[in-house]
Structure 1
Amino acid sequence: MKHLKRVKVFSEDLQSGMFVAELDRDWSESSFLLQGFVIEGPEDVEEVKKQCEFVYVDFRSDEEFKHYKLKTTRSTSYKQSLEGQSFDAGYNLRAKLKPALSRRRKSSRLMKGVLDKIMLGEDFDIQGVKDSVKDNVKQVLENEEAMLMMTMLKSANEDIAEHALNVSILAIGFAQALGLSQTQLEDVGMSALLHDIGQMRVDQKVIRKQGKLNQNERMEVVKHTQFGFDLLSAKRDLTPSCIDVALSHHERLSGQGYPRGLKGDQISKIVRLVSIIDVFDSLTSHQSYRKGLSVMEAYKVLMAGKGTHFDENMVLKFIEWRSIYPPGSIVEMESGEVGIVVKTNQQHKLKPRVLLVLDEYKQPRRERMVDLAKFDLDPESKPYKIIKAFENSAFGIDLQDYAEKGLKIHT
């Protein structure tokens, strides 16, 4: 497991998702079977506390380490210092967006090539896809915020490759937040990237139809899960998860999904995870017959389906992780000005950093970065406050254009 910091952590301060790399004693003196493991939950913490006073934890990024220190430090002044660092120090959005945009382009080109080959009945290189997913996992671990912002770049009518890539990146990020190992992240990312691969065997006139599908067309689209299963089952070196997700990502907890009508525990955890993100990305993307929903509107759909369609615990964790205003969100301020969220404040999620791009009359303005957590003031000398989040491309704002120029701030 790649890490940036190996830190001594007292057992009582362990948190879910942490990777325990060393103990305060030899592994042979403990009951742990694995020499290095992820803390999955409170039970694991209690077990470590029984056997060790402290352990050594691998932190995969400076940001992950700062989050740990924020939760455990008892010094008010040090905590305030860390809060400032985690939100400001060394934050260069342009430097973060450039590699993320490059990685997205490479992955998109590869995925489009794979899908074209499948549509023509040709074989495709599975190793190339695996290598791309590994690179995406690496970028998410090192540059999560920018990579996740890339999933907010929506075209006028999202295609299969774009949707697959978005679902894969979001799934990797969410799985990381759940504490999965790097190998597991690669499995999740691969499964998510290939989940809709069977759509290339469906009549493309139906897939590309402008408008809602009739009953016969819907039955044709349903076949894509079996097609995906058949395509991936013929490939070597794929995990069972990849094949399971392709077949089962439209199953629902109540048994009303397809193709097998699975219920509850018959649906694996990785399928539940990908299913939530598949629906979320579809809802927030533009379709030929409707505009994409805002993030908040998509959350409402997920919440309405928790416990019946989707895993309730995962839905709640997904929303908590993604936050109300994820980077790339288009938001309107109380002053009437409009901006793009560029960074989430982990301690105050309703107070992100926003790049203002339109004035109160919804006309282009000189760009200004405001930090809602620091109570930056609007033209009426009131602290800036978000009143509403909008769907992608609202007010004619092209996130792709801003990402291309690195959200450069004019000063």
Structure 2
Amino acid sequence: MESKQSFFRGRGGRLFSVLAVLIVIVFLAGGILLATNYKHLGNLVKVVTLVRTQYLQTVDTTQLVDGAIKGMVGSLNDPYSVYLDPKTYAQLHEQIKGSFGGLGILVGIKDQYLTVVRAYKGTPAAKAGIVAGDVITKIDDRDARGIDLETAISLMRGEVGSKVTLTIDRKETTEPLQFTRELIREEISVPTVESQVLPGTAIGYAVVSQFTEHTSEEMKENLAKLQKEQVKGLILDLRDNPGGELIAAVNVAKNFIPKGPIVFIDYRFGRDQEFSSEGRTAQLPLIVLINGGSASAAEILAGAVKDTGAGTLVGVKTFGKGIVQTVFPLDNGAGLKLTTARYLTPNRNDIHEIGIQPDVLVQPEENSVLDVQLDRAVELMKQKIAG
């Protein structure tokens, strides 16, 4: 029987010698000094060799490479930097475009739990009875506790007509609920801006649920509709808006922010970037509703409104995500979402892990059907209009 030593010197040895050379090239290209890291590099090669030659099951090289990349990105301890396998990468683009095959729910991470922010009317999720505040603990057989957002979204989406099972924790119940009926994926095209004139008032009310490629155009359409109805003030609801595209948030902000900066992007490398407004196009008194679920791109808009005095923020402190991710395409359809910059408000405030404080603090009432934050915003808007 051939010895392990001769095997390592043979085919396996040649394979991993090539692998070692490739790893060395990658490390050199990244500017890492092998003189101080050769032991770790050697361990990497040894582990790959041992897995390929000693592990009980056959392991595909692609699986090992993907695992190495995920581990590298995971070592950053940055929950917003994620390796995206081809399926997840494609679904991220679908989410940005605002049309996809899925269940019709908007989700976010709250206290490290995957939480439903909204179930859109008429979608499979809404028909099954899923509501805002539900905590998703399992997606099919996959434990969803501590899961990153991109992976969760990829698991819930799939081919139109296919089924998915969600296990839900709800405050009002003691036992987990399983939603299996009617959770059949459909083609979902989600509006990101919805508006109305509040009954008995001349106040426009617009909800922005997230920022996608379509949000800016949807905002223009909704503003035009509200202005035709001769509203005298606007309440913009950014509560539980998890963010989205930076450019979409900037373009929405141009409707409300006076001439000057909207946001500064502060990069580690290269020139910093400033996004500015040429002057607000919506000449209406403005109130913006915010809460702990208002994050990222939503905070760009809220921060610009606060710093420029373009409106009044009502609610509670925002989430505090003041960093920017860039999505880089990789080979074979994969991608890398990497934190590449931080953003600063027009007054150059860094709000990461700090959040934005409202101008008018209004705590929500738990277990109440009343929306005291919206009620307070209406009261303040009436004063603005009357004044």
TM-score range, shorter chain: under 0.3
Select the structure that is richer in helix.
1
CA radius of gyration, larger in: 2
TM-score (norm 2): 0.25
TM-score (norm 1): 0.24
Select the structure that is richer in strand.
2
